[in-house]
Amino acid sequence: MNLEILPNRTGGAAENMATDFLLLQRYPRAGVPRFRHYGWHRPAFTFGYSQKLSFVQTQLPPGERFDLCRRPTGGGVVDHRDDWTYALVIPRGHPLEELRATQSYREVHEALAAALRVQGVPATTKKAEVERVAPNALLADQAPWGQGAPPSAGPAGVCFQRAEIFDVVHERSGEKIAGAAQKRNKQGLLFQGSIWRPAVGGPIDWEKFNDDFVAALANALGVTATPTPWPDLCEDEVSALIDHYSTPEWNAFR
């Protein structure tokens, strides 16, 4: 079995969110997980599916131009102006998809932390608060990307200001390095994850990190990482969803 590694792409916020959702909703491959790393055409922020736009707007930098889009996954406000972003689709029936949200989140972030340690970054996953987290604290579509940390850690609902259970953090300072959010439906499980580059500290070979992260993910999934051409998506469907994700109604519906 393979972990399909899709080509890197760069897009606007609505395009990136629409593509991730379609890879889960319409184009999963039975038994075959898919991974993609992608970039941003312009400065961008995304925010969780369940968040209120009125709150989100209070957390954005004033006087700057950027894309803003509600994600199909849960979690908090994420600043993509200097991050490393990825998506992972796990189809229905894969062992990782069948794990509790906390455990699937942990598996992915343990792989990410291991890849950072290869680069000399003292990265680990946050476990200190585990006894304080209720068993159902992480819902299937609301992994802890900015949710549920102690009040002293920073504003609730804002990623990279609060480290959550099984986020990737700096081992010495405790600063948050990476977070993610999940959406689960009858097709499978979508991870949308982000590494905040300034929190890493020191120079990083991001191409090597990509390779090491993919290898660690493949090992965790029990599959072989295989570069794969971009799937044959229906362009009309892609365009329609991008248009939908670009509307004020999508961002403001909560």
Half-sphere CA count of 91, side-chain side, radius 13 A: 14
pLDDT score, position 217: 95
Q: Which amino acid is at 30?
A: A
CB-based burial label for 65 (10 Å; 0-12, 13-18, 19+): exposed
Give whole-number Cα distances, 38 to 43, 49, 62, 118, in Å: 13, 20, 26, 22
Which stretches within 84-185 are classed as H helix? 101-118
Question: Regarding the domain delimited by 2-49+68-252, which CATH topology (the fold level of the hierarchy) does it fall under?
Answer: BirA Bifunctional Protein; domain 2 (3.30.930)
pLDDT of residue 138: 37
User: Rounded to 5 degrees, what angle do the CA atoms 179, 183, 189 make?
Assistant: 100
Residue-wise pLDDT for 100-147, tens only, equals: 888 889 999 999 999 999 999 999 999 844 334 433 333 334 444 444
* Partners of 32 in the β-ladder: 29
Burial call 24-49: b when 16+ CB within 10 Å, e when fewer: bbebbeeebbbbbbbebeebbbbbbb
Query: How does strand 78-79 pair with strand 83-91?
Result: unpaired
pLDDT at position 43: 97
Tracing tokens 């990265």 back to the chain, one arrives at 123
The per-residue pLDDT for range 176-214, each reduced to its tens digit, is 999 999 999 999 999 999 999 999 988 899 999 999 999
Query: Which range is least confidently modeled, 79-88, 159-168, 190-199, 219-228?
Result: 159-168
What helix, strand, coil percent values describe the chain, rounded to 5?
A: 30, 25, 40
pTM for the full model? 0.87
Q: Residue 73 pLDDT > 90, yes or no?
A: yes
Report d(CA 95, CA 92) in Å as an integer.
9
Phi, psi of 34 (to 5 degrees): -130, 145
254 against 15, higher pLDDT: 15
End-to-end CA distance of the chain: 40
